[in-house]
């Protein structure tokens, strides 16, 4: 069985929902479908929650009314049978009344998560009703019945597998199994969400639980490109990536995929394909545990980086210096992207400036601190094992006219990173494309 996940744009209109139905039923084989909320819906739900936090029920009700009008219009466009229209209208009215019920109660983060979860509830119900109207054997499985996180807010794979297996056995014989992405229950049974990677994470967890043949992530982009098409000319989709390569690209700027969401698929050895609902016949990108040896695959960039350098003569041969420095960042829950060390100093980059002032004050206890803002990390990804001779020369040749603040290599066999000024980003990305891909 294949798992197919469709994002908000892919189910953003009645016409898109009809196209999704064609895609999932094309093979005639049983499939498991994960759906996001219709595009724009989650933003509206967050806005409703924001009004309620601010104790403005009138503002919340106005947004709810706008959302209701939008969805009722979709009902008339999506269905042909009066019975299906009425069934869906009744469901949507109950959903809107549920949202309105929060305007009369004390509002906390728990209620916010319950509100945000309704986007996926509505999209999955509408699509399954449409499929059933078309005579397709489709069943809606509530993600809240099997998708759960543990006390550390991490997915509980054993629970998910056991519960989902029982639900699938109970609903055996259907062609399409549909569930909601993103939402789950936490270890205490409360409605929660998977946060990182959202619906992609759901699809990956379900794929691993079902030992699926393949996990397909359908968006409005034809896979991961070898560079940023918004910045660089002549980019092309990368047809094959190792999981580690995909994670590096996702972390350093490729927005199509969250770096952690495919980990369950990676550990289960299940390939993940990134496909385009607007161009369903395009090859897309396949991510697996297979490596194409000696090949540079892609370039990505991450903006809004801050470089911090601590220079100290006391660092020379001083044990515990780096531990003390890293503990400062840990205490302020600020991850570090890149690290470079020398005998008298250490440089590192971060992308979260929330506690920059406090971090700098703490670091000044150990040395002279210099901060550079407006920086950008550019990473080159591929099979960059140190035994592959010549690739460093090729990459450095492309960067020869770009001022480089830091270089990081050796922490991964799949990545070499450069810290540069944001103003040099476009030149750097285009130069790397010209040297690595367009010759």
Helix (H, G, I), strand (E, B) or coil at 148: strand
Helix (H, G, I), strand (E, B) or coil at 255: coil
> How large a percentage of the chain has pLDDT more than 70?
98
Which has the closest alpha carbon to 305: 260, 371, 249, 395? 371
β-pair partners for 31:
2, 176
Query: Over 90: is that where the pLDDT of 294 sits?
Result: no
CA gap 314, 331 in Å, rounded: 23
β-pair partners for 374:
none
Cα 280 to chain centroid distance, Å, stands at 21
CA gap 203, 123 in Å, rounded: 16
Which has the closest alpha carbon to 75: 29, 17, 120? 17
Which has the closest alpha carbon to 203: 297, 295, 89, 120? 120
Which residue in this structure is represented by tokens 């029920």?
Answer: 57
β-pair partners for 219:
276
CA gap 275, 5 in Å, rounded: 10
In degrees and rounded to multiples of 5, residue 24 shows phi and psi of: -75, -20
pLDDT of 219-276, one tens digit each? 888 888 999 988 998 899 999 999 999 988 888 766 677 777 888 999 999 999 999 9
pLDDT of 377-396, one tens digit each? 999 999 888 887 778 888 99
pLDDT of 156-192, one tens digit each? 999 999 999 999 999 999 999 999 999 999 999 999 9
pTM of the model: 0.88
């Amino acid at each position: 069985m294949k798992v197919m996940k469709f994002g908000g744009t892919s189910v953003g209109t009645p016409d898109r929902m009809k196209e999704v139905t064609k895609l999932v039923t094309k093979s005639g084989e049983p499939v498991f479908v994960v759906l996001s909320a219709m595009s724009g819906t989650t933003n509206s739900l967050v806005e409703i929650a924001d009004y309620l936090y601010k104790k403005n029920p009138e503002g919340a009700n106005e947004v709810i009314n706008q959302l209701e009008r939008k969805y009722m219009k979709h009902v008339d466009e999506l269905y042909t049978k009066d019975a299906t229209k009425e069934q869906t209208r009744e469901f949507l009215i109950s959903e809107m009344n549920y949202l309105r019920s929060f305007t009369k109660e004390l509002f906390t983060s728990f209620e916010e998560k319950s509100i945000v979860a309704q986007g996926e509830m509505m999209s999955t119900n509408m699509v399954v009703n449409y499929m059933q109207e078309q005579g397709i054997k489709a069943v809606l499985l509530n993600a809240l019945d099997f998708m759960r996180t543990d006390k550390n807010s991490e997915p509980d794979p054993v629970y998910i597998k056991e519960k989902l297996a029982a639900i699938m056995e109970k609903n055996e014989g259907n062609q399409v199994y549909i569930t909601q992405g993103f939402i789950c229950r936490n270890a205490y049974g409360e409605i929660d969400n998977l946060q990182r990677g959202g619906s992609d994470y759901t699809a990956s967890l379900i794929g691993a639980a079902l030992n699926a043949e393949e996990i397909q992530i359908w968006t409005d982009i034809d896979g991961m490109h070898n560079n940023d098409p918004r910045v660089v000319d002549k980019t092309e989709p990368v047809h094959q990536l190792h999981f580690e390569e995909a994670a590096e690209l996702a972390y350093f700027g490729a927005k199509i995929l969250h770096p952690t969401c495919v980990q369950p698929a990676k550990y289960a050895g299940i390939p993940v394909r990134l496909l385009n609902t607007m161009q369903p016949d395009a090859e897309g990108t396949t991510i697996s545990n297979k490596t194409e040896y000696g090949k540079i695959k892609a370039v990505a960039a991450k903006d809004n980086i801050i470089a911090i350098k601590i220079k100290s003569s006391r660092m020379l041969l001083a044990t515990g210096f780096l531990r003390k420095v890293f503990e400062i960042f840990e205490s302020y829950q600020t991850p570090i992207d890149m690290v470079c060390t020398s005998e008298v100093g250490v440089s590192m980059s971060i992308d979260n400036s929330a506690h920059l002032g406090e971090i700098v004050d703490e670091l000044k206890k150990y040395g002279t601190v210099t901060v550079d803002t407006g920086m950008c990390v550019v990473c080159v990804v591929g099979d960059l094992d140190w035994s592959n001779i010549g690739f460093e020369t090729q990459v450095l040749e492309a960067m020869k006219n770009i001022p480089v603040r830091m270089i990081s290599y050796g922490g991964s066999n799949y990545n070499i990173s450069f810290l540069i000024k944001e103003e040099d980003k476009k030149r750097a990305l285009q130069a790397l494309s010209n040297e690595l891909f367009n010759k």
